[in-house]
Amino acid sequence: MSHLDSCRSSDLVLINSRLFPQPVKIRVEVIFGSPGKNCLGAGICRILSVEHVRVRWKCPSALAWLILSSEGSIRLAFDRSQLLPENYDQYFRDHMFYVEEPYSIPEPLISMLNLDEFTVESGLYSVKVSAQFLTVIF
């Protein structure tokens, strides 16, 4: 029988470190837009695993890392040096990332993160800015 209490912050850190011992990172391509608007609009239209052969999308897209942090949060970290200026201006304005409609991360990616499912809910998400990355935490 465990004496861990998920309501106590110190026990929560211990529980999470057992569940998520280290960050899991997957290189992905994020197609911007809204799925219901044929990738127009704001948010995430698709997230695809990066394959060896690159596809040139008609829709705005960017390479990113899909990350399951050691705390159990899902993040998308976009490399600033690879982000087109027009995508930066349109999707990361004022260091906010707007998701128009919910987006369920595809099962193959979710299984690589060792999760059952994850949906990015519609809403406005703050963007953490560093010298190298723009990181959205869902």
What is the per-residue pLDDT for 15?
43
CA dist 72 and 69 (Å) reads 5
Residue 105 DSSP code: P
Domain boundaries, the chain: 21-137
The answer to whether residues 135 and 127 touch, using CB atoms and an 8 Å cutoff, is: yes
Query: pTM (2 decimals)?
Result: 0.79
The answer to whether residues 136 and 75 touch, using CB atoms and an 8 Å cutoff, is: yes
What is the CA 68 to chain-centroid distance, rounded?
Answer: 9
* pLDDT beyond 90 at 11: no
**Which segment of 10-24, 39-53, 68-82, 87-101 scores lowest on mean pLDDT?**
10-24
Tens digits of per-residue pLDDT, 112-125?
998 999 999 999 99
Tens digits of per-residue pLDDT, 28-68?
999 999 988 988 899 999 999 886 556 666 789 999 999 99
